[in-house]
Structure 1
Amino acid sequence: MNDAASEKLDLKTKLAYGAGDLGPAITGNISTFFLLVFFTNVAGIPPGLAGSILMVGKIWDAVNDPFVGMLTDKTQSRRWGRRLPWLLYGAIPFGVFFFLQWIVPRFSVWGLFWYYVVIGLLSQVFFTVVNLPYTAMTPELTQDYDERTSLNSFRFTFSIGGSIFSLILARIVFLQISDRSQQYLVLAAICTVIAIASLYWCVYGTRARALAFEAKRIQAEAAPDIPFVEQLKIVFSNRPFLFVIGIYLFSWLGVQITANIIPYFVVDCMRLQEADVPTVMIAVQGTALLMLFVWGALCKKVGRKVVYFLGMSLWIIAGAGLYFLQPGQIVLMYVMAVMAGFGVSTAYLIPWAMIPDVIELDELQTGQRREGIFYGFMVLLQKFGLAFGLFIVGNALEAAGFKANVPGQATLPIQPESAIQAIRLAVGPLPTICLILGLFLTFFYPITREMHAEIMLKLKQRREKVD
């Protein structure tokens, strides 16, 4: 297994793997930036109730992650391997249920609430079905320490590139179509088609590499299956893993809170148009995309910890600047957006480059490759945190007196000063607290390049004995 897995990946495989995150990125980006706004400003649902819809979906999404992860670890297919069947058969339902979230049925407020809850639950199930096996493929495609950082750079190039494309697409659609409900319906339809196509590109483009790894894994893995409860004990006794999920949780909590509040900040605090929201987010995501390969190269010279500290420090400064911005300071707003993009880039790159190292440590301790369960529990805890964060944002806005739009109303209501202040707190101080906690955990993360090299040497010696 070592010979096949440690060699360098060709460009074709890296591109195909990266494409697998394009669909989830586009759909996830549109949902993150616009779903809460869609609920309040198009469907006319109060922000507290809208936040609850998102919280229910995220909690359910988190709960099913470890079970899907465990099932993918146990999946056996000679034709497709362990992970790819999930992407192959889940792609179309994933796209369909994403699209159904953007329809506004003629129901009462509570009827809409339950419609979006049910569709949201199904959408999150199929998001997990395609996205979790995909993320678990990273350590199976290569076991080289630096090659994994490179592979994640390709992945997040497609991810952030897809996010930027979705925002450009959103701006075009918003400018061409005046009816708000039609805007989101057309946008969702286009994103659905792209998402399904990109997942099939990933399946067929990585199949050969994935099957080569699978054949070696089956030959080398001699340890018996471990019961699920015992797996949980091993996973959570893996100290570096606890650091990684903490770093990822706080990083992405900062990302998600900022992404959900930015549309309100741009329109209600900076007094710009809704069509300006995608432009602001493009400044963030475009910078993040450009910095991916810069940070990746810098990681080889100064290490992941230093890169993470650099990016997050710039983001913290940007958060403070956004809190104090006033209407008319448009140039400063874009400067702050670019600075935030430096930090967002490291939030994408660093935690996902760390998790395969943890999986290798687990293999050394247990003799098994269990990527699915590690990725499942990583995402589970992340989504619990995100659900809580979205619930807080939605209910904080409602408590602050935020006024939801009346469906069909052409102009948005003027928000009271209390709601404006709540938006400012959510765009600045709240994400900053999360980022500082992530920095603290990163400082104490125990797996270094040298420790990883030692782990890989011991695994190589064990596999040579098996062969």
Structure 2
Amino acid sequence: MSESFEGVHRTVCNIISYGVGHVLNDLCASMWFTYLLAYLQGVVEFDSYLAGCLLLFGQIVDAISTPFVGIESDATSGFFNYGKRKSWHLLGCICVALSYPFIFCNVFQSYNPSSTAKFIFYAPLVAIFQFGWASCQISHLSMIPLLTNKDSFRDELNACRYIFTVLSNITVYCLIWILLGNDKESALTPSDQKVFTYLVLIIVGIGICCVIFYHVGCKEPSVNRRMSKLVSESQIQTSTDVKNLKVTPLMWLKQRKFYQISVIYMCTRLIINISQTYLTMYLPNSVDLQKKYIAIIPLVVFVSSLVNSFLVKYIDKAIGRKLTFLTGLLLIAGSSTWFMFICKEIGCNKQVFGAAVLLGAGGSTLLIESLSLTADLIGCHTESGAFVYGSMSFTDKLSNGVAVMIIQLYNPCGKLHKCDAGAAYFRDIMVFVPAGSAALALLFLLSLCGDDVGNLTVKKRKKATEEDALLGNETIS
């Protein structure tokens, strides 16, 4: 990496300031993936198909927004010279804070319109929320390569970011556990609306406080400090010496490893998000646990994730990124197998705690390592880092939306949160979607064997113009 690169100081304050920058997103995402479908079907009495359509619509908006935000964030210098990454982050947080509370505050309690009318009401709110979420996510992720060129420091930033993600999820599950109290029912009903109203207002308030902390405490380095050194034409190599060159989005689209890591990241997100979304359906339908367990079991998953996130750094140092990722895949395979054999009988159904521990540990390992692989791919080419993260997120959001839509299309429960036909169906979702995604991720991980992720390969570029050479703005085509 370029020796001229100056990053921020490696202090606990800087690491924590960065880590809290995604908390608002994490709190909202936890409610979105864990409780949205259960809330829409059980509390708002939404048709299961249209509930899936609404989530798919949101994921499509998010998928389209991520590369757009990535390109614009790379191209602009920020709003009012505030900083290109932090400007987009602030814009996204404002959109999330203004739109998200209305998604979980049911305005249809006094009357019950059709599901189509409800969809029309929710769609604009979801669009604003998802655009904001994408802006916040991409700008926050693309700060990592900008803050430092040290692999160990980047790992710490990724780990800190994930720790706050886990803490955010734990906060949501603890709050809903408290708000649900000792309700003996196993399914959500319209009478549970006040639980979600209180919950969404609390988490948005916490998230706003964290956004303020991030913008005050995390300093964005000037782009000029990250400009590449001027190199002569004779220094440009045909294959791998591209560290001093400005990498364009078109250049990334010509990289094989760009697609390999995109699929790995997509599979990671499928495992985490689909299991998180349908765990709240699996618990009442497949193992017949009380309503409070839709908070307790996800809490177990994320406590396991939190504990494991402290260990991943040491495992990575000992055996490397790819073998650590493989370890995560094995944990997911173990959890899927366990979910297959858990039954409804009292005592047997409590085995779900063990499967949840494996799911949490495996998910945290995969997410930390897939983000680290992405940061390795970007390397010192931070001028287009937001485009890379945006593209990765595009495949993630689109695949998750399509997967949920397909699952909801065949959902046997209709508008109900619980039904007899759902027992085998939701068990199969918890088994085969994570296991199949893990198998696909394994194939692409094996395709990376022997490759240096951050070593880009390009064709010899045409001679730079005299003006470009003087400005130090050589690009790779």
Alpha-carbon distance change, 166 to 451 in structure 1, aligned in 2, over 3 angstroms? closer
The 3-state SS of whatever aligns with 1:21 is helix
Aligned partners of 1:288 and 1:334: how far apart in 2?
13
Structure 1 residue corresponding to 2:132, chosen from 112, 126, 130: 126
Q: Which 5+ residue runs of structure 2 have no aligned equivalent? A: 184-188, 233-246, 458-470, 473-477
Question: Residue 428 of structure 2 aligns to which amino acid in structure 1?
Answer: L
Q: 1:92 Cα deviation (Å)?
A: 2.8
- Counterpart of 2:285 (choices 268, 279, 285) is 268
CA distance in 2, matches of 1:314, 1:372: 31
1:24 shift after superposition: 0.8
**Equivalent residue in structure 2 for 1:211, among 192, 216, 221:** 221
- Look up the match of 1:33: 34
Aligned to 2:14: 13
Question: 2:436 maps to which residue?
Answer: 433
Alignment partner of 1:295 is 2:299: no
Q: Say if 1:22 and 1:379 are closer, same or farther in 2 by CA, change over 3 A.
A: same
Superposed CA deviations along residues 348-407 of structure 1, whole A, max 9, x for unmatched, are 20111011222237x4xxxx721111111111111110111111121121xxx31424xx
**For 1:309, which of 326, 331, 335 is the aligned residue?**
326
2:398 to 384, 390, 413: 384
Q: Which has a greater percent of helix?
A: 1
Partner of 1:110: 116
**Other structure's SS at 1:271 match:** coil
1:96–1:192 Cα contact (<8 Å) kept: no
Between the aligned partners of 1:222 and 1:117, the Cα distance in structure 2 is 50
Paired with 1:315 and 1:306, the residues of 2 have a C-alpha distance of 14
What is the alpha-carbon distance in structure 2 between the residues aligned to residue 2 and residue 98 of structure 1?
43
Q: 2-side partners of 1:236 and 1:53: how far apart?
A: 31
Q: In the alignment, is the contact (CA less than 8 A) between 1:95 and 1:192 conserved in 2?
A: yes
4+ residue runs of structure 1 moved beyond 4 angstroms?
Answer: 218-223, 450-455
- Normalising to structure 2: TM-score of the pair? 0.85
One-letter amino acid matched to 1:250: C
User: 1:336 matched to which residue of 2?
Assistant: 355
Contact 1:73 1:370 survives alignment (8 Å): yes
Compared CA separation, residues 122 and 199, structure 1 to 2 (3 A): same
Other-structure match for 1:402: 413
CA contact (8 A) 1:357 1:447 kept: no
| Equivalent residues in 2 for 1:52-451, closer than 5 Å | 52-77=53-78, 79-106=81-108, 107-175=113-181, 179-207=191-219, 210-212=220-222, 214-218=223-227, 220=229, 231-327=248-344, 328=346, 329-360=348-379, 363=381, 369-397=383-411, 401-405=412-416, 415-417=419-421, 419-445=422-448
Q: Using the alignment, how far apart are the partners of 1:64 and 1:90 within structure 2?
A: 11
Change in 2 beyond 3 A, CA 1:7/1:75: closer
8 Å Cα contact 1:164/1:285 also seen in 2: yes
SS of 1:103 mapped into structure 2: coil
How far does residue 257 in structure 1 lie from its aligned partner after superposition? 1.3
Taking the aligned partners of 1:369 and 1:83, their CA distance within structure 2 comes to 11
Unaligned runs of 5+ residues in structure 1 are 224-229, 406-411, 456-464
* Mapped partners of 1:40, 1:437: distance in 2: 31
Q: What is the identity, as a one-letter code, of the residue corresponding to 2:426?
A: I
| Cα pair 1:40 1:47 within 8 Å, conserved | yes
The 1-side partners of 2:456 and 2:218 are apart by 29
> What per-residue deviation string (whole Å, max 9, x for no partner) do you get for residues 270-296 of structure 1?
111221111101111111111112111
TM normalised by structure 1 equals 0.87
Give the aligned residue type for 1:350: E
Tell me the alpha carbon deviations over residues 147-174 of structure 1, each in whole angstroms, 9 at most, x when there is no partner: 2111101110111111111111111122
Measure how far apart 1:331 and its partner are.
3.4
Cα deviations across residues 278-316 of structure 1 (Å, max 9, x unaligned)? 110111111111111211111011101111111211211
Q: CA deviation at 1:446?
A: 5.5
Distance 2:384 2:429 in 1: 37
**RMSD of the alignment, in Å?**
2.7
- Percent identity over the alignment is 19
Question: Contact 1:87/1:199 (CA < 8 Å) preserved in 2?
Answer: no
Q: Measure the CA separation in 1 of the matches of 2:284 and 2:423.
A: 10
How far the C-alpha of 1:5 sits from its partner, in A, is 3.6
Q: Is the 8 A contact 1:240 1:447 kept in 2?
A: no
Write the distance in 1 (CA, Å) between the matches of 2:74 and 2:230: 13
Q: Aligned partners of 1:52 and 1:447: how far apart in 2?
A: 42
SS across alignment from 1:211: coil
DSSP 3-state at the match of 1:98:
helix
Tell which deviates more after alignment, 339-348 or 49-58.
339-348
Q: Secondary structure of 2:84's partner?
A: coil
Cα distance between partner residues in 1 of 2:104 and 2:456: 50
Instruction: Tell me, yes or no, if the aligned pair for 2:146 and 2:221 is still in contact at 8 Å.
Output: no
Do 2:315 and 2:324's aligned partners in 1 also have CA atoms closer than 8 Å? yes
Shift of 1:199: 1.7
- Structure 2 distance, partners of 1:111, 1:290, is 44
Q: CA deviation at 1:79?
A: 4.6
8 Å contact kept, 1:5–1:142: yes
Q: Residue by residue, what CA displacement relative to the aligned partner does 1:324-357 show, whole Å, maximum 9, x if unpaired?
A: 2112224311011111111111122011101122
CA separation in 2, counterparts of 1:352 and 1:308? 11
- Cα distance, 1:87 vs structure 2: 2.1
Counterpart residue type for residue 193 of structure 2 = S
Match of 2:107, SS state, is coil
What letter matches 1:32 in structure 2? F
**For this pair of structures, how many residues does the alignment match?**
433
Report what 1:458 is aligned to: none
Q: Secondary structure at the match of 2:334?
A: helix
**Partner deviation per Cα, 1:401-429 (whole Å, 9 max, x = no partner):** 31424xxxxxx65x133x22111110112
Q: Which residue of 1 aligns with 2:463?
A: none
1:308 is matched by which residue type in structure 2?
A: F
